[in-house]
Amino acid sequence: MLNYSPKRSDEPIWWSLFGAGGVWFAIVTPITVLLMGLLLPLHGLGLVDLNYDKLLAFVASPVGAVFTVLTIALPMWHAMHRVHHGLHDLKFHVGAVGKYLCYFVALVFTVLAAIWVLDLI
Amino acid sequence: MDKLQTVNVLRYDPAKDDEPYLEAFKVPANDTTSVQDALAYIKDNLDKSLSYRWSCRMAICGSCGVMVNKVPKLACKTFLRDYPEGMTLEPLDNFAIEKDLVVDKTPFLERLEAIKPYIIGNDRKPEDGTNLQTPAQMAKYKQFAGCINCGLCYAACPQFGLNPEFIGPAALTLAHRYNLDNRDHGKKERMKLINGDNGAWGCTFVGYCSEVCPKHVDPAAAVNQSKVESTKDFLIAMLKP
């Protein structure tokens, strides 16, 4: 029998974080990797003046701090949402415990990112 | 020229058989022989006890869904010429078998009915004349209105297979179709089911429903647009005192 008046799902919260993480990881993270992973060690290829002190100053600025926390936190929410639903797909029906454990891991990374970044400011 | 082609059919008569089994038939086929023609040939010439559903023979009634080599297909729209190695026909996945290729579609019909796939809250009378829509208003929902209720998307959906409480692709798509129709005012009634864990949120966007849909309705798109609607609905409900 179908439940005609189901409880409202809390999935919009998790799905929104998942969506934000996906968008961030697809659009913003590649640029970050290009800048920090390639152009920084290659000294900006002589095209841009990029160095460690400059990046550190950016991370320690208010905009840079938010950017850094989001760079770490959002893809984490995305990934843990995937893990949570992936477990169900693989028939590991771990229920609410699995769900909250997944999102707890994402929360831990978010808090740690915030602490690390605040430490730099 | 007709040549004999092998068609394996899953047989099951709950009154006689302990479990389903495959039976091979040799069917004369040419380039125009559809799976439905093959089934008709078997029933008329080889085994009159074979049960299968069919009606229109032109992909509009949605009756003849079967698994062809494990893929949900309309029997009338699938041709033996594309399966030179032979084919195996089974009843639609994720539904209980009634007999042979006939499944019990009750769970699907129950879901269709539950999401109220009809215009609600429009008190226009016949004397008001036609309820005109602009092309833009119609374009919003037209693609999702192409559903023929064949149920192939339910046979394809791994989430429906894992969670029989899931409202599922076609019903959610039709709910979305009416929610997008500017003549309709029943969105509030439909959102209750969509907002639940077994509504739009039961979907993880596998997308196989859209792949198998014989009318290119793209149920995966409709369900995921419904997730956006449900998220908006969630936010509004949070903000309301």
% of chain A surpassing 70 pLDDT:
100
Chain B residues closer than 8 Å to A7 by CB:
196-197
Residue A6 lies in a domain: no
Residue A4 lies in a domain: no
Asked if B162 lies within 8 A of A89 by C-beta distance, the reply is yes
- Check if B201 contacts A (Cβ < 8 Å): yes
Cβ of B159: how many Cβ atoms within 10 Å?
A: 22
pTM for this prediction: 0.91
pLDDT tens per residue, range B55-79? 999 999 999 999 999 999 999 999 9
H helices present in A7-120, as ranges: 11-23, 29-32, 52-60, 62-89, 95-120
Q: State the burial class of residue B154 (Cβ atoms within 10 Å of its Cβ: 0-12, 13-18, 19+).
A: buried
Question: Between these two residues, A111 and A51, which has the higher pLDDT value?
Answer: A111
Chain A residues closer than 8 Å to B199 by CB:
6, 9
> CATH 3.10.20.30 residue ranges in chain B?
3-103
Asked if B114 lies within 8 A of A91 by C-beta distance, the reply is no
The whole-angstrom separation of Cα B105 and Cα B107 is 6
* Distance from the Cα of residue A117 to its chain's centroid: 14
Domain B3-103 has CATH 3.10.20.30: yes
> CATH 1.10.1060.10 residue ranges in chain B?
106-239
Residue A29 lies in a domain: yes
Domain that holds residue A97: 12-120
In the predicted structure, residue A9 carries a pLDDT above the cut 90: yes
Residue A79 lies in a domain: yes
Asked if A15 lies within 8 A of B227 by C-beta distance, the reply is yes
What is the nearest CA distance from A6 to chain B, expressed in angstroms? 5
- Residue A43's pLDDT is what? 80
B73 phi, psi to nearest 5 deg: -145, 160
Which of A4, A12, A16 is opposite residue B114, by nearest beta carbon?
A: A4
In the predicted structure, residue A54 carries a pLDDT above the cut 90: no
Please name the residue of chain A whose CA is at the shortest distance from the CA of residue B197.
A9
- Check if B224 contacts A (Cβ < 8 Å): no
Task: Extract the tokens encoding A10.
Answer: 């809390």
Residue A7 lies in a domain: no
- Residue B231's pLDDT is what? 97
Asked if B234 lies within 8 A of A88 by C-beta distance, the reply is no
Which of A4, A8, A91 is opposite residue B234, by nearest beta carbon?
A: A8
Contact criterion met (CB below 8 Å) for B239 and A10: no
pLDDT tens per residue, range A80-91? 999 999 998 898
- Residue B1's pLDDT is what? 60
Burial code (b: 16+ CB inside 10 Å, e: under 16) for B108-134 equals beebbebbbbeeeeeeeeeeeeeeeee
DSSP reduced 3-state for A73: helix
Chain A residues closer than 8 Å to B164 by CB:
none
The whole-angstrom separation of Cα A56 and Cα B157 is 48
What is the CATH code for B106-239? 1.10.1060.10
Chain B residues closer than 8 Å to A84 by CB:
none
- Residue A60's pLDDT is what? 93
Residue A95 lies in a domain: yes
Structural domain count of chain A: 1
- Residue B77's pLDDT is what? 97
The CATH number of whichever domain residue A73 belongs to comes to 1.20.1300.10
B residues 146..185 contacting A (CB < 8 A)? 158, 162, 165, 167
Chain B residues closer than 8 Å to A5 by CB:
192
